[in-house]
Amino acid sequence: MRILKTLAVAGMLTLFATVAPTLAAPAQSPEAFVQGLVDNALTELKGQLPDAELKSRFRAMATQNFDLPYLSHTMLGRFGDGLSEGQRSTFGRLFVTYIIESHAKDFKEFADQSIRVTGSRLQDNDVVVLSQLTTGDPTNPVVRLDWTLHQAKEHFLVADIKITDTEGSMGLAQTHKDDIVSILKRQGFDALLRIITAKLVELK
């Protein structure tokens, strides 16, 4: 499904940004933060880096731009309640690596497309930044991307990305949750890490 590909690539755009702007900057708004992430990523993509270099950069930036403990807790559901923050972060890093390895070949399709921030809204204690991806596909010309941001000490962190297009809506945290929870129910957390690791080996 195209929505799954778009969702994975939107997540990788966030990982790819080389600088996370700080809240200390007077003009730094949530909208500017997201626009800066995607503009930087798309600019880098036009440089036509080899796949291996792209993957390396994605992995290096994962902990800078994503709220991995929160994302992990959301995907792990109630099974994550008994885990330490370190365990959730370990899962988050491993899961992000899996997403990168699974979809890196799709990423360059988005190099000539554009993402424009259109506004923001408050959602409880978070900020949701609204944006649009122009696809160039006449059957699905515009995809809506909603970025949920948490405020860290020095900069924003992306907690989730929701994609809405002609196929429906889907959030990054929910994309693989059913499979993850099923494994946790049957085999436990350590087995989940082993299974994801084994899939990574198959992908390389």
For residue 35, what is the domain's CATH number?
Answer: 3.10.450.710
- The pLDDT value recorded for residue 38 is 81
| 137-162 pLDDT tens trace | 777 778 888 999 998 777 788 888 88
d(CA 164, CA 135): 13
With bands split at pLDDT 50, 70 and 90, how would you rate the model's confidence at 184? very high
Q: What pLDDT does residue 82 have?
A: 83
Residue 21: pLDDT band (50, 70, 90) is very low
pTM: 0.76
Q: How confident is the model at residue 47 (pLDDT cuts 50, 70, 90)?
A: low
User: Is pLDDT above 50 for 22?
Assistant: no
Question: Higher confidence at residue 125 or residue 68?
Answer: 125
Q: Is the dihedral angle over the CA atoms 61, 81, 98, 193 positive or is it negative?
A: positive
3-state secondary structure (DSSP) of residue 151: strand
Are the C-beta atoms of 181 and 16 separated by less than 8 Å? no
Of the candidates 175, 193, 196, 3, the residue with the CA atom closest to the CA atom of residue 74:
175
What is the reported pLDDT for 19?
44
What's the whole-number average pLDDT of the chain?
Answer: 77
Q: Give the model's pLDDT for residue 168.
A: 80
Q: Angle 128-130-131 (CA atoms, 0-180°, nearest 5)?
A: 145
* Residue 110 per-residue DSSP state: G
> How confident is the model over 8-18, as a mean pLDDT?
54
Cβ contact 100:55 at 8 Å? yes
3-state secondary structure of 104: helix
pLDDT single digits (tens) 81-130: 888 888 888 888 888 788 777 766 666 666 677 789 999 999 988 999 99
Number of domains making up the chain: 1
Distance CA 175, CA 145 (A): 15
Please give the share of the chain, as a percent, with pLDDT higher than 70. Answer: 76
Q: Provide the domain limits for residue 72.
A: 2-203
